[in-house]
């Protein structure tokens, strides 16, 4: 699975994400996103229940399946999952600004900018309570 070429600067390859998850198994929660039997995307959550902190770490929908609602539905399910986690008050994420950035997509889901930056990425927050 791959994003469209102009989007590659906004998300790490899935293989890199999976490798990172294996080095941080205590907080990395990752899943493939399926439409029936077809894999259409990938997401990874930083699930730090000990600190009651939850961050959408990685998210991508394969270029062939973008615009079909799979991304929105996957994040709705992820948000519902995070709401069940201990002390979950917010879900954070970050995005690189620019043409083709996922920032507007996150805004449509209710994420708002915090004013913080992390390595040039704009931090966003979705209140869960």
User: Any idea what DSSP says for residue 33?
Assistant: E
pLDDT band at 103 (very low <50, low <70, confident <90, very high): very high
For the chain, domains (ranges, CATH) are 5-95 (3.40.630.30)
Hey, what's the torsion of the CAs at 119, 52, 111, 19, to 10 degrees? Answer: 50
pLDDT digits (tens, 9 = 90+) for 7-46: 776 777 778 888 989 999 999 999 999 999 999 999 999 9
Nearest to 75 by CA among 94, 60, 53: 60
How far out from the chain centre does Cα 33 lie? 12
pLDDT digits (tens, 9 = 90+) for 56-97: 999 999 989 999 999 999 999 999 999 999 999 999 999 988
The SS3 call for residue 3 is: coil
**Residues paired with 45 in a beta bridge:** 29, 56
pLDDT confidence of residue 6: 65
């Amino acid at each position: 699975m791959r994003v469209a070429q102009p989007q590659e600067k906004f998300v790490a390859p899935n293989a890199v994400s999976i490798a990172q998850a294996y080095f941080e198994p205590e907080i990395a929660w990752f899943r493939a996103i399926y439409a029936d039997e077809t894999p259409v995307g990938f997401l990874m959550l930083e699930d730090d229940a000990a600190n009651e902190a939850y961050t959408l770490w990685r998210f991508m929908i394969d270029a062939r399946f973008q615009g079909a609602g799979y991304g929105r539905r996957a994040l709705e399910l992820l948000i519902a999952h995070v709401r069940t986690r201990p002390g979950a008050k917010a879900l954070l994420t970050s995005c690189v600004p620019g043409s083709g950035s996922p920032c507007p997509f996150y805004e449509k889901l209710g994420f708002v900018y915090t004013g913080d930056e992390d390595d040039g990425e704009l931090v966003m927050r979705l209140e869960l309570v």
